[in-house]
Amino acid sequence: MKRTAEEAAATRARVLEAAILVFAEKGWKEATYEAIGARAGVTRGAVHHHFRDKTRLLEEAIATGWRRHAAPALEELTREDQPPARRLTGFLSTYLRLLAQDDAFRALAVTSVLVAPQVLEVGAGIEEKSRQTDRWADLILPLLGSKAQERRGLESRDALFAVMAFLHGVTVAAATAPHDLPSPGAASGIAHAVVSGLIPGQEEA
């Protein structure tokens, strides 16, 4: 029986989701098509049908994962009805909470930080992550306010560096020391502490 385009797309999506989890759990060498298929609920042949090359599977799984899983946090940055401090706090707290609560997002962090660097020419997946972080930076920079940073002897891009370093740091921590991640309930307080040091006078905005 011939599958519909919708069924094929659904299978492909399940394979991509399963691949991130299996790469994170087993690493590059042990993440076989059999293991990925079992996690996705499909055969090894089905995985191979969609992805004849494992490197290509890794690339697309990372790229798709960052587009999908970063969306809830990104929404916080684009809430133009909210003041800058609240938007940035919401973004950072949501990102932290996702790392702590969402197994798939944490697996994406592990795969991006620990697995992808082992594979040569994994450009597409890493490029997508870079595009996502570049977009975050473009949205965050205007929120920081040049006048607020001048009072500290900083430029806005210095403050942006601090925010991006925080994001990179917690992503690496999720991959290398997941047990050290804060509880989801602490995410908001941590984000507030970071933002209050960068946007003075707007902590409660």
Mean pLDDT by 10 residues, the chain (205 residues): 79 96 95 97 94 92 90 91 94 94 93 84 63 89 79 83 94 92 94 88 47
Residue with tokens 């970063």: 70
* Cβ count near 33 (within 10 Å): 20
Neighbouring residues of 56: CB distance < 8 A, sequence distance ≥ 6: none
The span from the CA of 121 to the CA of 119, in Å, is: 7
pLDDT in tens, 52-84: 999 999 999 998 999 888 888 889 999 999 999
CA separation for the pair 4, 178 (Å, rounded): 40
Q: What tokens appear for 38 in the block?
A: 């079992």
* pLDDT computed for residue 153 by the predictor: 78
* Phi, psi angle pair for 71, to nearest 5°: -60, -45
102-126 burial by CB neighbour count: b if 16+ within 10 A, else e? eeebbbbbbbbbbbbeeeeebeebb
List, in order of start, the domains of the chain with CATH numbers. Answer: 5-52 (1.10.10), 66-196 (1.10.357)
pTM: 0.83
Using N-to-C axis directions, what is the helix angle for 123-144 and 54-69, rounded to 10°? 20
